[in-house]
């Protein structure tokens, strides 16, 4: 059972490096020295860093409900018993895909907020992507996030 789960999770591995998983530590922990100035983080939604978190909203509820219903459909079409259904990889992945999709838009918007890299796994390419995109869409980086670090 455990092994099967692990295999299923494989298509969505942890992101390259640990940046997303520890972003809030880099931004909210670490030493602060009073006489130094801190870059402003206004507008950065650092707390929604994960693409798969549960969002308590009606929209998410509806998607969860839909995912549950998919599980039901699976049972009807397959004429399986409930224990078989819950042990079946197919049923799980249907529900899982749904849920993951539900949260994707959140992760996407955050990725933009954190600097535009749309490909989490290729850090090397990110810098080449970042600048051209900014030039094309300067409006996204509203002045709320562009502030200076001068004393």
Partner 1 sequence: MTATGVYVYAIVPTGEPLPRKAVGVGDPPAELRLISEGPVTAVVSDAPPNLRARRRDLMAHQDLLMRLTDTGPVLPMRFGMVAADEATVLRELAGSREGHLASLRHLTDGVEINLKALPAQDALAVVVAEEHQVRRLRDEVRRRPGYEASVRLGEAVAAALSRRASEAGKKILRTLTPMARAVAAGPEVHGCALNVSFLIDRHDSDRFRIAAQSFADSHRAHVELRIAGPLPCYSFVPSRPARATAAGT
Footprint of partner 1 on 68-97 (CB under 8 A)? 68-69, 71-72, 82, 85-86, 91-92, 95-96
- Residue 8 in contact with partner 1, rule: CB under 8 A: yes
- Residue 133 in contact with partner 1, rule: CB under 8 A: no
The structure tokens listed for 28 are 């909210």
- Residue 39 in contact with partner 1, rule: CB under 8 A: yes
- Residue 142 in contact with partner 1, rule: CB under 8 A: no
Rounded CA gap, 10 and 129, in Å?
27
Asked if 46 contacts 20 with a C-beta cutoff of 8 angstroms, the reply is no
The structure tokens listed for 151 are 């004393």
Q: Which residue has the tokens 């600048």?
A: 131
- Residue 117 in contact with partner 1, rule: CB under 8 A: yes
Burial of 82 (0-12, 13-18, 19+ CB in 10 A): exposed
Q: State which of positions 45-64 bind partner 1 (CB under 8 A).
A: 46-50, 52-56, 58, 60-64
Beta carbon nearer to partner 1, 14 or 78: 14
């Amino acid at each position: 059972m455990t092994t099967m789960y692990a295999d299923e999770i494989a298509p969505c591995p942890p992101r390259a490096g640990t940046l997303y998983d520890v972003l809030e530590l880099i931004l909210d922990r670490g030493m602060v020295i009073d006489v130094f100035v801190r870059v402003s983080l206004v507008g950065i939604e650092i707390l929604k860093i994960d693409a798969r978190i549960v969002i308590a909203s009606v929209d998410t509820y509806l998607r969860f409900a839909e995912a549950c219903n998919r599980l039901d459909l699976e049972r009807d079409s397959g004429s399986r018993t409930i224990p078989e259904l819950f042990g079946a990889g197919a049923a799980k992945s249907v529900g899982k895909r749904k849920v993951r999709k539900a949260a994707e838009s959140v992760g996407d918007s955050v990725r933009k907020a954190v600097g535009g890299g749309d490909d989490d796994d290729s850090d090397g390419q990110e810098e080449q992507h970042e600048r051209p995109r900014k030039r094309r869409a300067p409006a996204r980086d509203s002045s709320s996030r562009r502030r200076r670090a001068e004393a």
